[in-house]
Amino acid sequence: VTRRLKHWGWGYEDEQPSVADLRALAALISERLGFAVGEPEEPVPLSEVAVPTPRLRPPDGLSEICSTDTYERCLHAYGRGYRDIVRAFHGRFDHVPDVVARPRTEPEVEAVLQWAVAAGAAVIPFGGGTSVVGGVEPRVGEQYAGAVTIDLKALDQVLEIDRTSLAARIQAGATGPGLEAQLADHGLTLRHFPQSFQFSTLGGWIATRAGGHFATLYTHIDDLVESVRALTPSGPWESRRLPGSGAGVSPDRMLLGSEGILGVITEAWVRVRPRPTRRASAAVLFDDFLAGASAVRALSQTGLHPSNCRLIDPVETQFTGTGDGRHAVLVLGFESADQDVEPAMSAALDVCTEHGGRFERRRGAAAGDGGSDVVGSWREAFLQAPYLRDSLIALGVLSETFETATTWDRFEAFHASVSERVSAAIDDVCGTGRLSCRFTHVYPDGPAPYFTILAPSRRGEELGQWDRIKRAASDAVIDGGGTITHHHAVGRDHRPWYDRQRPEQFARALAGAKAAVDPRGALNPGVLVDAVRGG
Amino acid sequence: VTRRLKHWGWGYEDEQPSVADLRALAALISERLGFAVGEPEEPVPLSEVAVPTPRLRPPDGLSEICSTDTYERCLHAYGRGYRDIVRAFHGRFDHVPDVVARPRTEPEVEAVLQWAVAAGAAVIPFGGGTSVVGGVEPRVGEQYAGAVTIDLKALDQVLEIDRTSLAARIQAGATGPGLEAQLADHGLTLRHFPQSFQFSTLGGWIATRAGGHFATLYTHIDDLVESVRALTPSGPWESRRLPGSGAGVSPDRMLLGSEGILGVITEAWVRVRPRPTRRASAAVLFDDFLAGASAVRALSQTGLHPSNCRLIDPVETQFTGTGDGRHAVLVLGFESADQDVEPAMSAALDVCTEHGGRFERRRGAAAGDGGSDVVGSWREAFLQAPYLRDSLIALGVLSETFETATTWDRFEAFHASVSERVSAAIDDVCGTGRLSCRFTHVYPDGPAPYFTILAPSRRGEELGQWDRIKRAASDAVIDGGGTITHHHAVGRDHRPWYDRQRPEQFARALAGAKAAVDPRGALNPGVLVDAVRGG
């Protein structure tokens, strides 16, 4: 029997925690977050979900790979943001695709795309379905004949490996574990580990400019992409494999972050590397978050380039078990497949010490792997977070994250203002709750802060509550000079703030680009720009 | 008295070498390149140059900053490619702008742009005028009412410095020395040193994705840009200052490499850094270029990130004086403002040794600055090369460079095939000559090879000879899987090969983007895409 993914949340159907587990979690929340939560609720079973009759019927030639089954339509109705899961948990499916296609080959992708566009449908490219910004929800307006979601996950192969150049050609539907397993057979790794790693796909990472493992230098998938192939309604778009180029505007950079509005990404050449064999890690304590931030700023401006440089504020250390709640913790790591990483770690720790950091290094049998317990527990918590959120939702806890980036000169005021405005909104909307912050990535000119909200929701009012808090957070980010997203993408949820952020003439240019290759405005309407429908 | 730039070549009018200097160079060429050259020719003086009557007259409000003077029009007629200088040297000016504007403020840029667009003119944004690909020549076709060149060099100020984030807001017309002098007052540097450094401008670097100082990591100006401001005919395009972002397609990446077809870049925030205080450099000898290339490949895949990693083939070492002509030389350098660079240099030299490299390090008073003579002479030759080319042209030597990038798996066959086809073309066209190669930049997945051609031309036939050799070189590059340019840009000269390289649907998208912000197709027509004229 094949395991089925939950139609409403993260992971597989058989992974739902027991009522006893949930009650234990409720006790932990009371203890660590200081607010009481209710009895666990059960998700509405799929059998009780009613969806509208499909408005489209796939042609006979495509029926084998197309489905109008309720499970498939519900599974592809939403991403995995808080409001997605809340709605699905409660059996509410606002916009289900009419047809879900699971092509197995690129010609099948092309056939589905051409049929759907000709039928006047909206087309939603779908990878892992892990969007937290409404990127895959067919909320497309009434002017389409229906919505066809193209799930790429059957295109999951590493097709070619170039050991000399350290590059691999990989199909867009390959998930993190799927492509890593295939690369591991060759002693190679992509080392792109977003939080959604377990389910998200290479194509999705490229379409959304996903942020990954490396805290510095190779922060986004952008930096690992050598060339991309996509299908637009007007034909294929495939760039040359090049290590670098200055031939006009980069074709790859126009697909990176295109969020499905220009084409369906089918494969890419990406830069891979030997698996790291040398690692050093450490946990450095600071009196508070801003003290840690000043150390991280100094570190970011050395050329030491730590692979991990995640500064966690005291509130967040407490909940994730990475600290005692009284200090900020910097999780610092270096890794290499060929070079000694100790000199860089030493130099980095010197910088931390100069900025008031305190640490204890243990050097054990695994040379230079000091501090691995903290790193290990951090990583474990990191990858478990999406599962945890499902449980929190079952317990009625509002659980939301938002992330951004801003320059160092503005950071302190930015952090203060975002914290104050969002905390006020949490208190106002939920009565109480917790806001915490960490850095996920850092640059010489600024950090990428990532905020987590945990607060008691009122049953039945979760969406309205989320909406008010999300608006306060997004307003604060944009008013403070940040980006509406450093690596979660824009989707439909961030559109109002994205529209305030991006240059107006750029938006016109992007809409012009879209109209040129997608004249009927079929691809992922509502995302990034308003489609100009012609054709 | 203000020094005037040569109307036909590189540098100032007072820098023209004497006949005796040129004869000495002729002797050196005979000795080092093995072919005889003729008597030096004199450039045709401007007084003997006839240009057509301007087709446009600037409005009264702009007359102070607009010129129809013959010197100004000839100075802005060409970039500084071989065929530009040959034509200008011989008094041939195929396409001069009708009006040259030198706005002093952004509102003046806007006023000139709006007037020119309304007048039905083609508009050529102009920085240092150092394009080697026909990027600024008003070769725009007959459908325009004239051509207006906007020279940005009066917008030359560093407007703002953010020491905390290590960033600076700089006007687009600032030249390399101009902006470095202003940054030096604050102990900072951009460290972007293209060969055109003396005259080229920040705006030009951004428009053309110029390649700079760093051989790894920060290879193009792209990597140093934090935000860009440009004026399109439809309004301003200004991105937020952000250290990193994942909010849709990058607006900056659409201006980077836009080569003047989307807007006139007026200023940018760029990432700067403290001046390096620690340096290590070395010259490593290899038996031949391919042996050196295998060492460079290994180095590029370590993570050591040398700032300089220029592998020069035996032919080129001989002519530039960096070697004896029997070995390939790798000029290797590390630099840092805060970290010891010796460990990285040691590790890099170990890699070279493993691949057959031989070196001798001298450690003198300037710690770790061994090998500085070779690096110094290489740098001197690098920056003098454009001056040298003027002299070569006066002596009737065909002097051309072309550069590219390709992946390591293809490199050996690529190098062989390009060398063979271009050498054959040189022999065929010129009877004899020299082709040499170096790496300017290197990536984990491939190098950026840079080729230099020196051959005896036939007086009066230079352009036809260039054309045949250029075609052979460009065909070989594209057939071999390279990019038509790694950092020289596309301009008008590379268009036929660029059109074979870039994805067709991307070209449609880019033309659509251009039409959206420049509906009359006024901006730099003929470059990158064919303008769709509407409006």
Pairwise CA distance, residues A281 & A297, whole Å? 18
Partner-chain contact A248 B488, CB within 8 Å: no
Query: Which candidate from B240, B246, B446 shows the least CB-CB separation from A243?
Result: B446
Pairwise CA distance, residues B506 & B504, whole Å? 5
Pairwise CA distance, residues B520 & B532, whole Å? 7
Pairwise CA distance, residues A316 & A377, whole Å? 13
Helices (H) and strands (E) in chain B, counts: 15, 18
Query: Tell me, what's the pLDDT at A382?
Result: 77
Partner-chain contact B444 A509, CB within 8 Å: no
Collapsing DSSP states into helix, strand and coil, what is residue A69? Answer: coil
Q: How confident is the model at residue B533 (pLDDT cuts 50, 70, 90)?
A: low
Among candidates B338, B271, B217, which has minimal Cα distance to A407?
B271
Partner-chain contact A258 B248, CB within 8 Å: yes
Pairwise CA distance, residues A479 & B449, whole Å? 46
Q: Which residues contact A122 (CB under 8 A, 6 or more apart)?
A: A138, A140, A144, A146, A147, A148, A522, A523, A524, A525
Distance from CA of A269 to the nearest CA of B (A): 11
B488 membership: H or E segment, kind and range:
none
Pairwise CA distance, residues B522 & B532, whole Å? 10
Which tens digit of pLDDT belongs to each residue from B336-347?
Answer: 999 999 999 999
Q: Give the pair of three-digit tokens for residue B431.
A: 């009877």
How is A117-137 classified by DSSP, letter by letter? HHTT-EEEEESS---SSSSS-
Contact list in A for residue B481 (CB cut-off 8 A) is: 240-241
Query: Which candidate from B237, B246, B302 shows the least CB-CB separation from A489?
Result: B246
Angle subtended by helix axes B372-394 and B82-89, to nearest 10: 40
Return the residue matching tokens 């690096």.
Answer: B375
Query: Amino acid letter at A66?
Result: C
Which tens digit of pLDDT belongs to each residue from B17-52?
Answer: 899 999 999 998 898 888 999 899 999 999 999 999
Asked if residue B329 lies in contact with residue B340, where contact means CB atoms within 8 angstroms, the answer is no
Q: What is the mean pLDDT of residues B437-441?
A: 97
Asked if residue A162 lies in contact with residue A168, where contact means CB atoms within 8 angstroms, the answer is yes
Partner-chain contact A517 B512, CB within 8 Å: yes
Contact list in B for residue A241 (CB cut-off 8 A) is: 407, 481
- Chain B's closest residue to A215, CA to CA, is B244
Q: Which of A131, A240, A497 to mutate to test the interface with B (most CBs of B within 10 A)?
A: A240
Asked if residue A265 lies in contact with residue A230, where contact means CB atoms within 8 angstroms, the answer is yes
DSSP letter at A93 equals: -
Among candidates A256, A262, A267, A126, which has minimal Cα distance to A199?
A126
Query: Which candidate from B246, B253, B485 shows the least CB-CB separation from A246?
Result: B485
B426 CA to centre of own chain: 23
Q: What is the mean pLDDT of residues B210-223?
A: 94
Query: Which candidate from A165, A210, A211 shows the least CB-CB separation from B407?
Result: A165
Edge-first strand listing for the sheet containing B397-403? B358-359, B278-286, B328-336, B308-312, B434-443, B446-456, B397-403
- Chain B's closest residue to A231, CA to CA, is B505
Distance from CA of B512 to the nearest CA of A (A): 5
Q: Give the pair of three-digit tokens for residue A458.
A: 């009122």
Collapsing DSSP states into helix, strand and coil, what is residue B262? Answer: coil
Query: What pTM was computed for the model?
Result: 0.97
Strands A278-286 and A328-336, how do they pair?
Answer: antiparallel
Pairwise CA distance, residues B22 & B19, whole Å? 5
Dihedral of CA atoms A478, A482, A485, A491 in degrees, nearest 10, equals 30
DSSP letter at B16 equals: P
Partner-chain contact B512 A514, CB within 8 Å: yes
Query: Tell me, what's the pLDDT at B279?
Result: 95
Which residues face B175 on adjacent strands? B201
- Chain A's closest residue to B226, CA to CA, is A445
Q: Which of B445, B488, B528 to mutate to test the interface with A (most CBs of A within 10 A)?
A: B445
Distance from CA of A293 to the nearest CA of B (A): 12
Contact list in A for residue B493 (CB cut-off 8 A) is: none
Asked if residue A348 lies in contact with residue A299, where contact means CB atoms within 8 angstroms, the answer is yes
Asked if residue A131 lies in contact with residue A123, where contact means CB atoms within 8 angstroms, the answer is no
Partner-chain contact B243 A446, CB within 8 Å: yes
Which tens digit of pLDDT belongs to each residue from B119-134?
Answer: 999 999 999 999 999 9
- Chain B's closest residue to A441, CA to CA, is B244
Measured in degrees and rounded to the nearest 5, phi and psi for residue B308 equal: -125, 135
* Sign of torsion over alpha carbons A84, A313, A196, A485: positive
Distance from CA of A135 to the nearest CA of B (A): 11
Asked if residue A197 lies in contact with residue A177, where contact means CB atoms within 8 angstroms, the answer is yes
Query: Which candidate from A210, A487, A513 shows the least CB-CB separation from B512?
Result: A513
Pairwise CA distance, residues A452 & A319, whole Å? 11
Which tens digit of pLDDT belongs to each residue from B351-408?
Answer: 999 999 999 765 433 433 444 566 666 677 777 888 999 999 999 999 999 999 999 9
Asked if residue B115 lies in contact with residue B99, where contact means CB atoms within 8 angstroms, the answer is no
Asked if residue A528 lies in contact with residue A498, where contact means CB atoms within 8 angstroms, the answer is yes
Query: Tell me, what's the pLDDT at A383?
Result: 78
A406 CA to centre of own chain: 19
Query: Tell me, what's the pLDDT at A368?
Result: 38
Contact list in A for residue B247 (CB cut-off 8 A) is: 257, 483-485, 489-490, 494, 498, 501-502
Which tens digit of pLDDT belongs to each residue from A344-370?
Answer: 999 999 999 999 999 976 543 343 344
Query: Which candidate from A209, A408, A448 shows the least CB-CB separation from B164?
Result: A408
Query: Which candidate from B226, B484, B509 shows the least CB-CB separation from A254?
Result: B509
Contact list in B for residue A340 (CB cut-off 8 A) is: 347
CB pairs under 8 A between A and B: 303
Mean pLDDT of chain B: 94
Distance from CA of B447 to the nearest CA of A (A): 7
pLDDT at position B534 over 60: no
Query: Which candidate from A243, A486, A504 shows the least CB-CB separation from B443?
Result: A243
Partner-chain contact B303 A338, CB within 8 Å: yes
Partner-chain contact B407 A243, CB within 8 Å: yes
Asked if residue A450 lies in contact with residue A316, where contact means CB atoms within 8 angstroms, the answer is no
Partner-chain contact B271 A490, CB within 8 Å: no
Q: What is the pLDDT along chain A (535 residues), one digit of tens a residue?
A: 689 999 999 999 998 889 999 999 999 889 888 899 989 999 999 999 999 999 999 999 999 999 999 999 999 999 999 999 999 999 999 999 999 999 999 999 999 999 999 999 999 999 999 999 999 999 998 999 999 999 999 999 999 999 999 999 999 999 999 999 999 999 999 999 999 999 999 999 999 999 988 999 999 999 999 999 999 999 999 999 999 999 999 999 999 999 999 999 999 999 999 999 999 999 999 999 999 999 999 999 998 999 999 999 999 998 777 777 899 999 999 999 999 999 999 999 999 999 999 997 654 334 334 445 666 666 777 778 889 999 999 999 999 999 999 999 999 999 999 999 999 999 999 999 999 999 999 999 999 999 999 999 999 999 999 999 999 999 999 999 999 999 999 999 999 999 999 999 999 999 999 999 999 999 999 999 987 665 4
Distance from CA of B518 to the nearest CA of A (A): 9
Pairwise CA distance, residues A382 & A215, whole Å? 14
Pairwise CA distance, residues B233 & A471, whole Å? 34
Which residues face A279 on adjacent strands? A335
Q: What is the mean pLDDT of residues B198-205?
A: 98
Pairwise CA distance, residues B464 & A151, whole Å? 54
Pairwise CA distance, residues A53 & A99, whole Å? 10
Contact list in A for residue B236 (CB cut-off 8 A) is: 503, 505
In B209-362, where does DSSP find H-type helix?
Answer: 251-255, 289-300, 314-320, 342-354
Query: Tell me, what's the pLDDT at B1?
Result: 63
ipTM (interface pTM) = 0.96
- Chain A's closest residue to B513, CA to CA, is A509
Which residues face A427 on adjacent strands? none
Query: Tell me, what's the pLDDT at A86?
Result: 98
How is A459-508 classified by DSSP, letter by letter? TT-HHHHHHHHHHHHHHHHHHTT--S-SSS--TTTTHHHHHHHS-HHHHH
